Chains A and B, each alone.
Chain A
Amino acid sequence: MKQKNSLEDFRHRLSRYGDGVHDRWLKTPGWQRWIVYALLIVGALLLPSESIGSFMSPYTDWASILFFPIGTYVVLAIGLNVVVGQAGLLDLGFVAFYAVGGYAMALIGTRLGWNFWLILLVGIGLCALSGITLGAPTLRLRGDYLAIVTLGFGEIIRITARNTDSIGGPNGIRAIPHPPSFPDVELFGIKIFKYGVLDPRPYYYLLVALAVIVIILVKRWEKSRVGRAWAAIREDEDAAEVMGVPTFRFKMLAFAIGASIGGAMGVLWAAKAISINPNDFQFLLSATILAAVVMGGAGNLPGVILGAFVVAWLPERFRGLQDYRMLIFGAVLVALMIFRPEGLLPSRQRKAELQEGSGGMGALGAEVPGPESHGEEVASK
């Protein structure tokens, strides 16, 4: 019991410290924030350096895993966060949109020979469309029904791709073209626009650019009327509807935006991968991205990014554990949820909800704020 108290104490001190940092950040003038943003982007661009690579990833090529899985997971998690973290819709089939994007790149690139940038636009459009197609019949369903339907949709996409011989069947598609290169541009000894097969770094820079654009857009949406509508839907859909929020339309919007982000990542990934096949789009990927979102702190962008990074990087870093790394990964997920159910970096709102006992997304059914659980929270405040 004593140990539990000190643990609780530590948690609260940590979260108070976090709040302190947050408050200071909110008071920071705009220009200082821009400096921090710029530094972060520079930091992201410098990441694939060999000097940290040997420590960050002793078993695999650091620049390669920065693109996949780390960067890819980060962008996918940002997309899923719009659906799960902001609009509060449980999507277990996010991988479907990633697959649609990947197949769009592979099919259009090999059959029609279009330029990568054009396909990126088309792919985003296609994914938004498929998000709406999936959403239209299903978004009227409530939470858990939506979960199984999205899960089913993810599987349908994968199985259909596998069973359709005209798009390669189980063999998938080979010889996917790369983005157009400018091999002459050289910066610090790196040909940053040479999209070949050997150097993953140009793709990584492209991914960083994509991530930055996505983050800016998502952040703007979050602060706008749309973001507030999503929050209202997440907290209490009926109340939102009564207050005049067109919930169905906003849920569709969240789905379409999430799908587009997943699709954009799919296009970019396929443009590097050379070949894709339906097995690249398993349910486990949906589950992993969802775990990243929740583990980082659903609804809070830095948290989600951190979550995706951790989920993608840890298994690569600890390849030395060989077989046991997935076992440990599973145990870590459970432990994290037990000790920090709100995620590593929750939004302050989420934390408040948790203390209230509602915890966002709706609490577990038979959770009665009994004397023991509630008392503890109050006493430790």
Chain B
Amino acid sequence: MLNDFVNQFWPATIDGLAFGSIYALIALGYTMVYGVLRLINFAHSEVFMIGTFGAMFVPFALGVSEPLTGLALVGVILLMIVAGTLASAGTAVALEQIAYRPLRKRGASRLAALISAIGASIFLQELFALLVIPNVFNRPEKGRIQMGLPRLMEKSELFSIFGHSVRVDQVLVIVAAVGMMIALDALVNRTKIGRGIRATAQNPEAAVLMGVDINKIVRMTFLIGGGMAGVAGALYLISYENTYYYIGFLFGIKAFTAAVLGGIGNLRGALVGGVALGLVENYGAIFAGSDWKHVISFSILVLVLMFRPTGILGESLQQARA
């Protein structure tokens, strides 16, 4: 048993970091929306799903079927990230406009907003399974079946740790995710928009009095959170090369768990929670078997919350200095 752990420690760590980074990027969307609106944006999982398909559209439209190299590769990857981000951010903003804003205007309960989110989530899944995937991606009758991405990038070894190879796509995921985090951190802490977001999270009434346009801030929050999910979707697709209409469900649950684990509403908490979750899952699977992965991550969540009721880094967008 211990022997297994020693043997598999490094590969599990690398995979855990790569997957955890994707969780973290999605968790940002949950955490930002929660920080500002106190709403669990259940449909955020579908925002991620749409991001993967947005990214998928680039090689599909360009007709890429062979691995690329050099500038062409970089260009396609950048285009995929942009397409994924646009698709996700657009979806997130549309969601806010259609499914949440009218409720907000009515002063509806958060429970109603949650149900609206679940409804939107089902709607988007079915929309993709029934209409978008069969028609846009030309897969009639295969709307519910996993769709593979043709290999774009040779998964060559970049370097190795104790004899275990680290592949270039894994490094890409981790580096890009950390880069996005730093950029977002700067955005929230240094810019005017960021200040508006923090002010709204802290005290919406006061923020309005200070001249903050709440609707704009909320829209920006969804835009940024959605964009992050889109980047996650593109990175995920490049590295794991497949997606389907229901992919958001597990990612959504896991990313939300990561957000709560790190301290919901806290941006750095999302990073910590995501990476911690990715690692714990992979380490736990070595001991208990891969089929117990989810049980392990939820049990860890309960344990952490019992001892630190507001997550590892504590709550709220404003207090922890993001």
Which residues of A are in contact with B by a Cβ distance under 8 Å?
84, 90, 137-138, 140-142, 144-145, 147-149, 151-153, 155-156, 159-160, 162-163, 283, 287, 290-291, 294-295, 298, 323-324, 326-327, 329-334, 336-338, 341-343, 353-354, 356-370, 372-373, 377
Given the complex, which residues of B lie within 8 Å of A377, measured CB to CB?
Answer: 107
Contacts of B214 in A (CB 8 A): 366, 368, 370
A354 and B106 form a contact (CB under 8 A): yes
**Which of B39, B257, B291, B299 makes the CB contact (< 8 A) with A163?**
B291
Mask of B72-86 contacts with A, CB within 8 angstroms, 1/0: 000000000000000
- Chain B stretch 226-249: residues in CB contact (< 8 A) with chain A: 249
B306 contacts A137, CB within 8 Å?
A: yes
- In the assembly, what is the distance between CA of A28 and CA of B214, in Å? 48
Instruction: Report the nearest A residue to B310, measured CB to CB.
Output: A145
Contact across chains for B256 and A334 when beta carbons are under 8 A apart: no
From residue A137, how far is it (CB to closest CB) to chain B in Å? 5
- List B residues at the A interface (Cβ < 8 Å): 34-40, 98-100, 102-116, 118-127, 130, 200-201, 204-205, 208, 214, 217-218, 249, 253, 256-257, 260, 264, 289, 291-292, 294-295, 298-299, 301-302, 305-306, 309
Q: B101 to nearest A CB, angstroms? A: 9
Task: Find out whether the CB atom of A149 lies under 8 angstroms from the CB atom of B111.
Answer: no
What are 25 of the A-B contact pairs (CB < 8 Å)? A90-B111, A144-B38, A145-B305, A148-B301, A152-B257, A152-B301, A153-B298, A156-B298, A291-B119, A294-B112, A323-B126, A323-B130, A327-B127, A337-B112, A337-B116, A341-B103, A353-B109, A354-B109, A358-B107, A364-B104, A365-B36, A366-B200, A366-B204, A370-B214, A372-B105
B126 partner residues in chain A, CB cutoff 8 A: 323-324, 326-327, 330
The answer to whether B107 and A373 have CB atoms under 8 Å apart is yes
Q: Which residues of A contact B122 (CB under 8 A)?
A: 326-327, 329-330, 333
Inter-chain CA distance A367–B136, complex, in Å, is: 38
B298 touches A155 (CB 8 A): yes
Contact pick for A149, options B38, B217, B301, CB 8 Å: B301
Please, how many angstroms separate the alpha-carbon atoms of A283 and B125 in the complex? 15
Query: Nearest Cβ in chain B — how far from A263, in angstroms?
Result: 21
Beta-carbon contact of B115 and A294 below 8 Å? yes
Enumerate the 9 nearest inter-chain pairs by beta-carbon distance, A residue then B residue, closest first.
A333-B119, A341-B108, A330-B123, A152-B298, A330-B122, A365-B38, A359-B109, A327-B126, A337-B116
B107 pairs with A357, CB closer than 8 A? yes
Rounded to whole angstroms, the CA-CA distance of A84 and B114 in the bound complex is: 13
Q: Which residue of B lies closest to A153 (CB)?
A: B298
CA distance A327 to B294 in the complex (A): 28
Is there contact, CB below 8 Å, between A156 and B295? Answer: yes
A354 and B258 alpha carbons, distance in the complex (Å): 32
In angstroms, how far is the closest chain A Cβ from the Cβ of B268?
Answer: 19
Assembly CA distance A365 to B33 (angstroms) = 10
Identify B123's interface contact among A141, A156, A327, CB under 8 A: A327
**How far is it, in angstroms, between the C-alpha of A357 and the C-alpha of B107 when the chains are bound?**
5
Expressed in whole angstroms, the Cα–Cα distance for A332 and B126 within the complex equals 13
Min distance, Cβ B142 to any Cβ of chain A, angstroms: 13
Residue among A330, A367, A373 with the most chain B CB within 10 A? A367
Per DSSP, chain A at the interface is helix
B110 lies within 8 A of A362 (CB): yes
Measured between beta carbons, the chain B residues less than 8 angstroms from A145 are 260, 264, 305, 309
Contacts A338-B99, A364-B37, A365-B37 given; indicate if A152 touches B302 (C-beta within 8 A): yes
| 8 Å CB contact of A291 from B100, B118, B295 | B118
Chain B residues whose CB sits within 8 angstroms of the CB of A294 once the complex forms: 111-112, 114-115
Contacts of A354 in B (CB 8 A): 106-109
In Å, the complex CA distance between A62 and B37 comes to 43
Query: Could you tell me the distance between the alpha carbons of A358 and B106 in the complex, rounded to whole angstroms?
Result: 10
- Asked if B309 contacts A364 (CB within 8 A), the reply is no
Instruction: Output the nearest chain A residue to B101 by Cβ-Cβ distance.
Output: A338
Chain A residues, CB < 8 A from B108: 337, 341-342, 354, 359, 363-364
Contact, CB under 8 Å: B204 / A334? no
Q: In the complex, A295→B111 CA distance in Å?
A: 10
Bound CA span A370–B105, Å: 9
Cross-chain contact A373 with B106 (CB below 8 angstroms): yes
Q: Is the Cβ of B115 less than 8 Å from the Cβ of A337?
A: yes
Say whether B118 contacts A361, CB under 8 Å.
Answer: no
Are B109 and A361 neighbours in the complex by a CB distance under 8 Å? yes
CB closest residue in chain B, given A170: B291
* Contact A84-B106, Cβ < 8 Å, known A144-B264, A291-B119: no
A241 CB to closest chain B CB (Å) equals 16
How far apart sit A144 and B301, CA to CA, in the bound complex (Å)?
13
Q: Are B106 and A360 in contact (CB under 8 A)?
A: no
Residues A138 and B305 in contact in the complex (CB < 8 Å), given A159-B295, A330-B121: yes
A contact residues around B40 at 8 Å (CB): 144, 147
Complex: how many Å from CA A357 to CA B103?
11
Contacting residues, chain A, for B35 (C-beta < 8 A): 365
How far apart are the CA atoms of A184 and B242 in the complex, in Å? 59
Instruction: Give the distance in Å from the alpha carbon of A156 to the alpha carbon of B300 in the complex.
Output: 12
Nearest B-chain residue to A357, judged by Cβ:
B107
CB pair A334–B112 under 8 Å, yes or no, is no
- Residue in B110, B127, B205 whose beta carbon sits within 8 Å of that of A361 in the complex: B110
Distance in Å: Cβ of B194 to nearest Cβ of chain A: 15
Nearest to B130 among chain A residues (CB) is: A323
Contacting pair A338 B103 (CB below 8 A) = yes
Q: How far is the CB of A281 from chain B (nearest CB, A)?
A: 14
Docked CA distance A267–B253 (Å) = 29
Decide: B298 and A295 in contact? CB cutoff 8 A.
no
Q: Are A363 and B109 in contact (CB under 8 A)?
A: yes
User: For the complex, what is the distance from the CA of A329 to the CA of B119, rounded to whole Å?
Assistant: 7
Using A155-B298, A163-B291 as known contacts, say yes or no to A365 and B201 having CB atoms under 8 A apart: yes
CA distance A148 to B292 in the complex (A): 18
For residue A299, give the distance in angstroms from its CB to the closest CB of chain B.
10
Distance from A378 Cβ to chain B, minimum over Cβ atoms (Å): 12
* Given A156-B299, A333-B118, A365-B37, also A341-B309 (CB < 8 A): no
Q: Which residues of A contact B118 (CB under 8 A)?
A: 287, 290-291, 333
Q: Contacts of B201 on A, CB cut-off 8 Å?
A: 365
Distance, CA A341 to CA B112, complexed state (A): 6
Which residues in A have their C-beta under 8 angstroms from that of B217? 366
Q: Is the CB of A367 within 8 A of B204?
A: yes
Beyond A90-B114, A298-B111, A336-B119, list 10 extra A-B contacts (CB 8 Å): A141-B309, A145-B309, A291-B119, A329-B119, A330-B122, A337-B116, A338-B102, A359-B107, A361-B110, A364-B38
